[in-house]
Each structure stands twice: as structure tokens, then as C-alpha cells.
Amino acid sequence: MACIFCQIAGGEIHAEILYQDEEVFAIRDINPQAPSHILVMPKVHIASVADMNEEQSTLLARLVFTANLLATKEGIAERGYRLVTNCGPDAGQAVPHLHFHLLGGRQLGRLG
């Protein structure tokens, strides 16, 4: 079975794309956990942050930069937002394609 995020990146499956460039794209989460819930991910298939190599470190920076850009565009940057990625099934990663959850628009509970 093909990766759903790869299919979205390839235009095979429709999604609300909020941002895209040569390396990165962002979509609204279909099951939002906050008023603003965006998924930011690379176009290239990487299963999780644990599968990244040193040459992909600039891609990681690009993902974070894009999340910051979208937080400003969504109006959540000033009050604060959460940027999180899950790594593996025990952490709750449901789709094995690296993606960051950008969450905001309300006060989020403390972690830990």
C-alpha cells in the first residue's frame, strides 16, 4: 500500500494544501486536535525523524521554518503554538511519513 502523504504530495489524493515548495508541503489535519492543526512534511518519503540522515538536516530546518511561517499566517505565532512529531507506533505515529503537527489557537495542556 502506498503512503497517503506521498499520494497527496503527488496529487493522487486531494487535500487542502496550505503551502508547498520544491521540498515541503503542508495540509490541514482531517482530525484536528486544536482550532489550528496543520501537518508539515517533506515531499520525499522519510518514515520518521529516526530515519533521517545527515544530508537531510537542511530539510529538517526547512520543515521548522515552514511551520513558523504558517503559524504567523494562521495568526497563532504571537500567543504560542506547539510543533511536535511522533516517532514510531509507541509514540502515536499513525502514518509512517515524517510530519510535524503545528497546533495552536487555544491554550494547550502542559506536557510532562
* Inter-CA distances, 81 with 22, 56, 69, 108, 110, Å: 25, 25, 12, 8, 12
Flag whether 51 is in a domain. Answer: yes
Catalytic-labelled residue, pool 37, 45, 97, 99? 99
Q: Measure Cα distances from 101 to 9, 64, 106 in Å.
A: 17, 11, 15
Q: Quote the domain boundaries for residue 82.
A: 4-104
Q: What is the pLDDT of residues 68-84, one digit of tens each?
A: 999 999 999 999 999 99
CATH code of the domain containing 87: 3.30.428.10
pTM score, whole prediction: 0.93
**CA-to-CA distance for 30 and 8, rounded, in angstroms?**
13
Please report whether residue 46 resides in a domain: yes
What's the domain count of the chain?
1
Instruction: Check residue 107 and give its pLDDT.
Output: 87
The yes-or-no answer on residue 45 being catalytic is no
